[in-house]
């Protein structure tokens, strides 16, 4: 059985005091949740302080991006080893906001993933189509191109712990959520692609999580789908009660029938 992941992408929200308060609220309520991988991804400036709150905790620390070089004259960038030194276990790579506003391409996504793998940080690779691409029936084609580009040159062993987040761009921060059927269709296609590119074994163990206006009201119906293994949560992860509720609902679902 794949362990689900609920990861909070805090984007460019929260100063350091607010971030500490948020993480303390979360960890106090979910300390006994053992069957869900819980991840919070604050901004770079808050990673160290939030990380100190999470030493030996069931809530893991993640970053929202990383650079591919180890060190050097790259003003404004942060290396994977730097992330590791403050306790990061995960890093989000290729988020659609990075692709849209900061020139992220499948090639740079590939280089960032390589750096993360080499430093043993779990990459959360984000893929997803725009509304125009969906309306032109190009969703699967777009997602497949993004995944093939992102994973170019990696062996099965390299990506054994990688997580894929399917995040339709039109659903991120818009309040529009993919229906469970829409999300399941793409998650299943991604799993099939991983089987074709690598193996059935890798495809059946890889976590494929959904992102795009997921919230307490819709998390259960999404999580019931066979190929949805968790969520990358933006807006709702900034409200402790919502994020905690989503974690608990997911945990309960996995204690029950979903396998």
Contacts of 98 (CB under 8 A, 6+ apart): 65, 104
Residue number with CB closer to ligand PEP (203 or 223):
223
Token digits for 125?
């690779």
Measured between alpha carbons, how far is 68 from 79 in angstroms, rounded to an integer?
A: 7
Residue number with CB closer to ligand PEP (230 or 234):
234
Residue number with CB closer to ligand PEP (203 or 246):
246
To ligand PEP, the closest distance from the beta carbon of 177 in angstroms equals 8
Give me the torsion for CA of 102, 105, 107, 110, rounded to 10°: 80
82 binds ligand PEP (CB under 6 A): no
Please pick, from the candidates 42, 87, 230, 235, the single residue that binds ligand PEP as defined by CB under 6 A.
235
234 binds ligand PEP (CB under 6 A): yes
Measured between alpha carbons, how far is 152 from 149 in angstroms, rounded to an integer?
A: 5
- Is 90 in contact with 61 (CB distance < 8 Å)? yes
Contacts of 143 (CB under 8 A, 6+ apart): 127, 128, 129, 166, 186, 189, 190
What does the per-residue mask of binding to ligand PEP show for 204-233, with x meaning CB under 6 A? -------xxxx-----------------xx
- Which window, 34-42, 70-78, 101-109, 167-175, contacts ligand PEP (CB under 6 A)? 167-175
Is 167 catalytic? The answer is yes
To ligand PEP, the closest distance from the beta carbon of 216 in angstroms equals 12
In 3D, which of 3, 69, 76, 72 has the Cα closest to residue 39?
3
Give the binding-site size for ligand PEP (rule: CB under 6 A).
14
Residue of 97, 104, 129, 167 marked catalytic: 167
Q: Which residues bind ligand PEP (CB under 6 A)?
A: 9, 11, 167, 172-173, 211-214, 232-236
């Amino acid at each position: 059985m794949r362990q689900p992941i609920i990861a909070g992408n805090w984007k460019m929200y929260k100063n350091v005091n607010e971030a500490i308060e948020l993480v303390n609220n979360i960890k106090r309520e979910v300390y006994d949740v053992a069957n869900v991988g819980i991840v919070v991804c604050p901004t770079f400036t808050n990673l160290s302080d939030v990380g100190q709150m999470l030493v030996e905790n069931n809530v893991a620390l993640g970053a929202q991006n990383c650079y591919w070089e180890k060190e050097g004259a790259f003003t404004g960038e942060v290396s994977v080893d730097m992330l590791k030194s403050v306790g990061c276990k995960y890093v989000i790579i290729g988020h659609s906001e990075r692709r849209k506003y900061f020139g992220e391409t499948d090639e740079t996504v590939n280089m960032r993933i390589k750096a993360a793998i080499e430093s043993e940080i779990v990459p959360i690779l984000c893929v997803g189509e725009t509304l125009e691409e969906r309306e032109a029936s190009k969703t699967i084609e777009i997602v497949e191109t993004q995944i093939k580009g992102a994973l170019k040159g990696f062996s099965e062993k390299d990506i054994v712990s990688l997580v894929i987040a399917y995040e339709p761009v039109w659903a991120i921060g818009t309040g529009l959520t993919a229906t469970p059927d829409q999300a399941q269709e793409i998650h299943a296609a991604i799993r099939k692609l991983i089987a074709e590119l690598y193996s059935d074994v890798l495809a059946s163990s890889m976590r494929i999580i959904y992102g795009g206006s997921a919230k307490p009201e819709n998390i259960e119906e999404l999580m019931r789908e066979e190929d949805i293994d968790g969520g990358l949560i933006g807006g709702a992860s900034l409200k402790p009660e919502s994020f905690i509720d989503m974690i608990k609902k997911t945990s309960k679902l996995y204690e029950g029938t979903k396998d």
